Amino acid sequence: MPAPYDTDTTANELVNDYNHLIKDKVVLTTGVSSGSLGGFFVRSIAKAKPAWLILGARNAEKLQQTASDIVTAYPDVKVRKLKVDLGSLRVCVMQLPR
């Protein structure tokens, strides 16, 4: 059972406690622009070595920055970028390699 959490709990503590649920999994997260809460989230869970991080964001430049930061810090984590506009019904979906 994980430790009790409160407002002082850090992302590193959560990643340490839930590492076994993240490692070797595929994690899809939207809103991962550089400097955003989503960007911080994916950089934090990259420490747990998921098999894939699929990163979605509206701004291609900020998305690229987040992806580059993760690849630099965690070269073993595979990253795919997905530019999405969730305000539109027309979404481009990329196919992942098998």
**Tens digit of each residue's pLDDT (9 = 90 or more) over 49-72:** 999 999 999 888 999 999 999 999
Does any domain span residue 28?
A: yes
Does any domain span residue 50?
A: yes
CA distance 81 to 3: 33
Please determine, for residue 6, whether its predicted confidence score (pLDDT) is greater than 80.
yes
Q: What is the pLDDT of residue 35?
A: 85
Give the mean model confidence (pLDDT) for residues 6-24.
92
Please determine, for residue 2, whether its predicted confidence score (pLDDT) is greater than 70.
no
Share the mean pLDDT of the chain. Answer: 86
Question: What total number of domains does the chain contain?
Answer: 1
Does any domain span residue 73?
A: yes
Which of 6, 43, 2 is closest to 20 using CA atoms? 2
Residue 52: CATH number of its domain: 3.40.50.720
Does any domain span residue 52?
A: yes
Which of 20, 71, 77 is closest to 53 using CA atoms? 77
The residue range of the domain holding 16 is 11-83
CA distance 39 to 89: 24
